[in-house]
Amino acid sequence: MYAPVRVGTLSHLGELEGVERAGDWVFSPDWLDELREQTRATLAEADPRDPGVDAPSAPWAAAIVPLLGLERRGSRLYLPGATAQTEGADELLAELEASGLTPVKVGDAGLARALEQEDKLVRLGGSEAVGAEAFERARAALVEECTAAGGITIARCRDLLGIGRRAAQLLLERFDADGVTRRVGDRRVLRRAAR
C-alpha cells in the first residue's frame, strides 16, 4: 500500500505499478480505499449535533479529499446530505431572538456549532452567542458608524446598540476576529476589506 507521495519526489515514476494520481500526488488504490473507510467509520460515530469531522491537514489533502465522495463544508467533511440533529434548537433560537444583542450563554457547545454552521447564530467569546440576524444588524450599524466617525469605542458601541458594556466588548472582539475591524488604542477602525 502506497501512501501519497508527491510526484516531484519520485525519480522513477514509471517503476510504480498500480498507483493512482491526483494532482501532484500518487498513491495506491488500497490506501485510498482504507482512508475512505476510516473516514466514513469516524463520521458514523460523530456527534449527531455536528455530524462532521475535520478534513485532513496533510499536504495531499486538497488533491485527495475530493476523491472520498464526501461533502466539504468549510474545514469539515460530512456524509452527503448529512444534517445536524438539533434537539433544543427551537428553544435556543427563540431565546436568542428575544435577547436581541444581549449574548445568551449556550450550555451545549455541539448545538451552538451546528446552529452556527447553519448561519442561525454567532458565537461570541467562549460559550455565549447572539442570533445571526441581530449580529448582522450590529455589523451594519458598526460599519456605518466607523465610516462616518472613522472608528468606534466600546462606550460608543454600547450606546449605539443599546446594550451593556460586556456585550459591546464581545461583539467588537468578534468583529476583530472576523476581520471587519482592528483595534487601535481604545478604538476599533474598519479594515480595508470591510469598507
pLDDT per residue as tens digits for the range 60-96: 999 999 999 999 887 889 888 887 766 788 899 999 9
* pTM of the full structure: 0.61
Structural domain for 129, as ranges: 89-194
Asked whether residue 83 is domain-assigned, the answer is no
CA–CA distance, 112 with 50 (Å, rounded to integer):
9
Domains held by the chain: number? 2
- Report whether pLDDT(142) > 70: yes
Q: Contact, 129 vs 96, CB < 8 A?
A: yes
For residues 189 and 97, membership in a common domain is answered with: yes
Say yes or no to pLDDT of 11 above 90.
no
Evaluate if residue 43 carries a pLDDT over 80. Answer: yes
Residue 195 has pLDDT above 70, yes or no: no
In a domain, 84, yes or no: no
Indicate if 94 and 62 belong to the same structural domain. Answer: no
The confidence score (pLDDT) of residue 9 equals 60
> In terms of C-beta density within 10 A (0-12 exposed, 13-18 middle, 19 or more buried), how is residue 82 classed?
middle
In the predicted structure, residue 42 carries a pLDDT above the cut 90: yes
Shared domain check, 96 and 186: yes
Q: Are residues 60 and 105 in the same domain?
A: no
- Which residue do the cell numbers 519526489 mark? 9
